[in-house]
Amino acid sequence: MEEYLQLFKNETVFYNQILLGSLLPENIWRSLPHVCRTWLRNYVAGVLIYSITGFLWCFYIYHLKRDVYIRGADPIPSKKTMVLHIKVTMRSLPWFAALPTFSEYAVERGWTKCFSRISEVGWFAYFVYIMAYIAVVEFLTYWAHRKLHDIKPLYKYLHAQHHSYNKQHKISPFAGLALHPLDGIAQGGPHEIAIFLVPTHFTTHLTVVFLGAIWSANIHDCIDEKMWPLMGGGYHVIHHLSNRHNYGLYTIWMDWMFGTLSHPVSNPTKPN
């Protein structure tokens, strides 16, 4: 068992060396305890993914393809608005980085149902587990997000900050992670809870966690990408404008199941 758990630690050590060794002087991170290196790697990775994804997506939709994606005189977020989103996010990212750090710590100690190699279960079981993992994440994220709206103290003290961006020209890809730290942990926590419930390939889990940050940028672009049944920007902007619909993360299925789905007007082929 101890030898098997060492496989997970070897993976995290490898990821730490690849990222930190490429970007930071060794005297900054080499002497840190393993868990601190892992947190630093997750924090640096989070900053890079957030910054690069946000910048490229804003440049693409607001400048390079503005005539394609922005209708008529629709306003776009100002630089001041996007700087505000970035400031809020940067204050919270150190806390957000604690989530994957905790999950990696738990995996290394054998507390979760993670497995190290796909060959241990086979490709068919791997895909079944991934679908189950995503379903658990979707279900838990939906209810966490919905309760952040339904329970007034949670909304007032945690989630209201994110919903101060409730007009289309106040929402941008940089707003995706502009959350109160506890709000972000509540909505990001399902990714970590899922590995205690469903057998999950460890590297795939980490990949999905960071892809979630990219997805968060996508659904805050205010554009109806017509990605049904995925929760694209067209669906999520309705959430910001109404506060009562489209709580899902990756797909619309939980909103459909629990009666909170509202389709974009520009996509009338899918009935409410």
Q: How many domains is the chain built from? A: 1
- Scanning the structure block, which residue is given the tokens 């189950």? 132
Domain range enclosing 127? 2-258
271 in a domain, yes or no?
Answer: no
157 in a domain, yes or no?
Answer: yes
pLDDT attached to residue 229: 85
- Scanning the structure block, which residue is given the tokens 């049904």? 228
Amino acid at 51: S
37 in a domain, yes or no?
Answer: yes
Cα 221 to Cα 58: distance, rounded to the nearest angstrom: 8
198 in a domain, yes or no?
Answer: yes
26 in a domain, yes or no?
Answer: yes
Q: Residue 264 belongs to what H/E stretch? A: none
- Scanning the structure block, which residue is given the tokens 């109160």? 180
Residues with Cβ within 8 Å of residue 171, at least 6 apart in sequence: 77, 165, 220, 221, 222, 237, 240
pLDDT attached to residue 266: 54
Cβ-in-10-Å burial (0-12, 13-18, 19+) of 228 comes to middle
Q: What is the DSSP-derived secondary structure letter of residue 251?
A: B
Cα 173 to Cα 53: distance, rounded to the nearest angstrom: 8
269 in a domain, yes or no?
Answer: no
Q: pLDDT tens digits for 11-54?
A: 999 999 999 999 999 888 989 999 999 999 999 999 999 999 99
32 in a domain, yes or no?
Answer: yes
83 in a domain, yes or no?
Answer: yes
Q: pLDDT tens digits for 106-132?
A: 999 999 999 999 999 999 999 999 999
- Give the dihedral of Cα atoms 211, 48, 90, 218; nearest 10 deg: -40
pTM above 0.75, yes or no: yes
Q: Mean pLDDT check: name the lowest of 14-23, 46-55, 86-95, 213-222.
A: 213-222
